[in-house]
Amino acid sequence: MLTKGKAADRLQRSVIAVPSRYKVANALMLKGTWLCCVLGGVVFGLPALLVMFSVSLWQRELLRDLPYVVALGLIGLCLDTLWLHTGVLDYGGAVLALPFGLTIAPAWIVMLWLAVGLSIRHSLIFLVNRPLLGALLVGGGSPLSYLAGESFGAVEIPSMGGLMILAGVWIVLFFAVFSCAKTRLTTS
């Protein structure tokens, strides 16, 4: 069984293990992927996301990144589809139409969730050791991200009240994500 000091030491070593230049590169790729997805949808977003996957593969980190990528991709698809159907967000013609009249969130927004998954152990690692702070920063910043997306015409936000609910859900979600990542990194 790990003591609290040993667990913190392991987490600190995992943070240090990735050179700073890779953390900075990952942060820039995350921001670039956001911009590409918001401005160009799948056409611009997919190449940017593929670069992030390629770098993760090149760094031999892809297998360790995949649990976060898959989990956040599925959670993001479900959440943004929920926001779509409850009227919190409106993606207009970008929604994906499925058989039987079902619609789901656009592929480009799910790609952004995948990109965040590729960043948890890299540029966002400093938030893993501080799950509450991370949750407040990421969750509290989520309305700004959606508002910026709205200014580029990628999404419409019918009400600010819905956006505040979205922020609250993100705070809870990312507290869980960062806490889970902290546990995984300190026990591995």
Burial of residue 166 (CB within 10 Å: 0-12, 13-18, 19+) is: buried
Q: Within a domain: residue 5? A: no
Q: How far is CA 38 from CA 43, 95, 106, in A?
A: 10, 14, 11
DSSP string, 7-21: HHHHHHHHHHHS-HH
Positive or negative CA dihedral for 120, 160, 149, 21?
A: negative
Q: Within a domain: residue 74? A: yes
Number of folded domains in the chain? 1
One-letter amino acid at 40 equals G
Q: Within a domain: residue 163? A: yes
pLDDT at 127: 93
Q: Within a domain: residue 175? A: yes
pLDDT at 184: 86
Q: pLDDT tens track of the chain, all 188 residues? A: 555 555 555 544 444 455 677 889 999 999 999 999 999 999 999 999 999 999 999 999 999 999 999 999 999 999 999 999 999 999 999 999 999 989 999 999 999 999 999 999 999 999 999 999 999 999 989 999 999 999 999 999 999 999 999 999 999 999 999 999 999 888 86
Q: Within a domain: residue 160? A: yes
Q: Within a domain: residue 3? A: no
pLDDT at 20: 75
Give the domain range for residue 14.
Answer: 10-187
